[in-house]
Amino acid sequence: MIVSMQDKGEALLSKCSKGFKSLVRRKQVDSVHVRREGHQLARKLTALDLTAIGVGTTIGAGVYVLVGTVAREHTGPALTVSFLIAGLAAALSAFCYAELASRCPSAGSAYHYAYICIGESVAWLIGWSLILEYTIGGAAIARGISPNIALFLGGEGNLPAFLVRHTIPQLGVVVDPCAAILVLIVTFLLCAGIKESSLVQTIVTTVNVCAMLFIIVAGGYLACKTGWVGYELHGRFFPFGLNGMLAGSAIVFFSYIGFDAVTGAAEETKRPLRDLPLGIGMTLTLCCILYMLVSVVIVGLVPYYALNPDTPISSAFSANGMQWAAYIVTAGAVTALCASLMGSLLPQPRLLMAMARDGLLPAFFSDISTRTQVPVKSTVTTGMLAAVLAFFMDVSELSGMVSVGTLLAFTVVAISILILRYAPPEEVPLPSSLQQFIDSVRKQLDDDSQSMERKEFNDADIVEQRPSQSEYGEASIQYPLIEKQFCEGNQDKQNPRRRRNIAIWNIALFCIGVLVLTSAASVEYLPSLVHFSLGAVGAAILLCSLVVLACLNQDEARHSFGHTGGFLCPFVPFLPAACILINSYLLMSLGVGTWIRVSIWLIMGALVYISYGWRHSSLTNAVYVPMAYLDHIYRASSSHQV
């Protein structure tokens, strides 16, 4: 009876252990050894194409409104400084993305990186969050295009009747046919091929950038004629103080979201090791320069308190006698929204394809067209869903949920950099079909290792048995040297393991410290003493763990992890740590309502993962082997096939 209960307990413990391990199982970096079945995505994109995708996705119509609202309520003339600080904060995430994109150039972006560095459950969480972001983001952008088109044409009355918004009385729903049609057009373009869609993206983005250049040049000319009246405030460059300027930076930070769309096309890039980091860097640099120049001009044309919060740029030109400039500004806003719509719908089919390849979603989403070499089924599915949402729903209230997916992805990517540098995966999964080669190579290497150890021991024994110099009255020195050599050898084997464990624990402690500190800084209803105590505890944990990481040597295995020779993130661990802290604070600053809605979505995702993804994962029957065995196993497998 007792033995039976013990057996049941051990079986239950074994199942729990196996279940936990399945949540943190990690996949292999795609390499020359990994041959995908079926057709592949077409590698046709250059650094210029990636930059057009990134800039088009990042510069939305929001900047045409954002400059007025933020300048009036938060920054005043210091709006340019806020854009610069926000750009530098976004650059922290861009550096992390650039290294991972060049090391792991496959579809899936942050989901793919999290699966390799952290584990399956976190990867699913990120992938599920990004699905929500892309779907709601695309629908929200599409709903914003039709009013701008109506404004450009002089009012809704000038729109064709079938494009005008109207209300369904029985449902009380305002439908937007124009938004749905635009989503379907973009979906068709994306199905035509990656080179074709990127060409259209480049053209639309160029028109948008030209509109912004017109604002900068014409606005700068007008400001020079009027004497830059917006800055004649007698020392009031920071009218809302430093806090106002930082608050403005937190708001405009979201105008830089979109550069990560570049990594979504990693598998379609000709030279990913060079072009992906270059595309990310050029995207962020160009966007930051344009944002800063536009803000300099607009705040200089009109005093910040006189800016129109709804149409700041058009109103600034109208106040200086250039009413016709409103058409160019509106054209820029329309093209910006169209480029953002294309950029929002481009990564999602590739994300679904990556998740389906890994078995977490049905194989239907992983099919690639033989003619266009794009995931047509995934593209059509996501396009139809976004079109339905854009037609029936006003998703503006859900727009805050878009930020959650992006900020979670930014945070996880920075954590992945720390793991990659200090504790990269030691084992890689291989299919169970290679089991015989794995056993053969493991036995061969173990035998070689044992014979080497036996030889070293015999050599040491021979040295010990040599005539000691003590017979001639001199002190013996052979044995102490041998003993010291063995001790140093054992330490060399133990130190990497000890250093790795210390690094893992300190990365975990750093994340806990960030969570405590940002929670204390964001929650407003707590007493001041509790605020201060939590903040002090979180800061202490954060700083101590960061100091320990800075003192540790980075793992030597990082040099051979993934595709080598690409971009390396600088200032590790400080840069990823700052990235984690900033993005966590922004996450905690989102409203309670947003988090409630996101939590419902994540619970739904957990149910989908438990019921399907966990059971169908491609790693379910995988065999994990040390990295050192990998080349030997593939060599043995290749020779057997030959």
Decide if 602 is inside a domain: no
| Residue 430 pLDDT | 84
- Tell me: pLDDT of 115 over 60: yes
What pLDDT band is residue 521 in, cutting at 50, 70 and 90?
Answer: confident
Alpha carbon separation from 155 to 151, 152, 502 (Å, rounded)? 5, 7, 64
CATH of the domain at 252: 1.20.1740.10
Q: What is the mean pLDDT of residues 123-139?
A: 92
| Residue 17 pLDDT | 57
Decide if 556 is inside a domain: no
> Bigger pLDDT: 167 or 120?
120
Whole-number average pLDDT of the chain: 84
Q: Which of 97-111, 166-180, 246-260 has the lowest mean pLDDT?
A: 166-180
- Tell me: pLDDT of 99 over 50: yes
Domains: count for the chain: 1
Domain range for 156 is 49-170+177-184+193-423
Q: What is the rounded (10 degree) CA torsion for 242, 243, 245, 250? A: 140
Helices (H), 193-322: 194-226, 241-252, 261-264, 272-301, 312-318
Rounded to the nearest 5°, which phi and psi values hold at 258? 140, -20
Contact 54, 283 (CB under 8 A): yes
Specify which of 31-45, 312-326, 529-543 reaches the highest per-range mean pLDDT. Answer: 529-543
Decide if 60 is inside a domain: yes
Q: What is the pLDDT of residues 420-474, one digit of tens each?
A: 999 998 888 888 777 777 777 777 766 665 666 555 555 545 444 444 444 434 4
| Residue 420 pLDDT | 94
- Tell me: pLDDT of 492 over 60: no
Contact 345, 53 (CB under 8 A): no
> Bigger pLDDT: 193 or 63?
193
Helix 79-103 vs helix 272-301: crossing angle, to nearest 10: 170
- Tell me: pLDDT of 105 over 70: yes
Nearest-angstrom CA–CA distance, 303 and 72: 9
Strands of 411-512, DSSP E: 427-430
Annotate 536-573 with DSSP letters as a single string. Answer: HHHHHHHHHHHHHHHHSPPPGGGGGSSS-SS---SSTT
Q: What is the pLDDT of residues 360-400, one digit of tens each?
A: 999 999 999 988 999 999 999 999 999 999 998 776 666 67
Nearest-angstrom CA–CA distance, 340 and 332: 12
DSSP summary character for residue 609: I
| Residue 639 pLDDT | 67
Q: Please indicate, yes or no, whether the overall pTM of this predicted structure exceeds 0.85.
A: yes
Q: Which of 1-15, 262-276, 367-381, 399-413 has the lowest mean pLDDT?
A: 1-15
Token pair, residue 149, equals: 């088109």
| Residue 569 pLDDT | 95
Decide if 210 is inside a domain: yes
Q: What is the mean pLDDT of residues 62-72?
A: 85
Decide if 198 is inside a domain: yes
| Residue 635 pLDDT | 74
Nearest-angstrom CA–CA distance, 134 and 141: 10
Q: Which helix (H) or strand (E) holds 49?
A: helix 47-58
| Residue 491 pLDDT | 47
> Bigger pLDDT: 458 or 560?
560
Rounded to the nearest 5°, which phi and psi values hold at 346? -70, -50
| Residue 472 pLDDT | 37
| Residue 432 pLDDT | 77
> Bigger pLDDT: 637 or 341?
341
| Residue 466 pLDDT | 45
- Among candidate residues 583, 568, 585, the one with its CA nearest the CA of residue 90: 583
DSSP summary character for residue 471: G
| Residue 602 pLDDT | 94
Longest dimension (CA), the chain: 114
| Residue 95 pLDDT | 96
Q: Which of 354-358, 462-466, 526-530 has the lowest mean pLDDT?
A: 462-466
- Tell me: pLDDT of 478 over 70: no
Q: What is the pLDDT of residues 8-51, one digit of tens each?
A: 656 655 555 555 666 788 988 874 444 455 557 889 999 999 99
| Residue 535 pLDDT | 92
Decide if 601 is inside a domain: no
- Tell me: pLDDT of 229 over 70: yes
Nearest-angstrom CA–CA distance, 564 and 581: 28
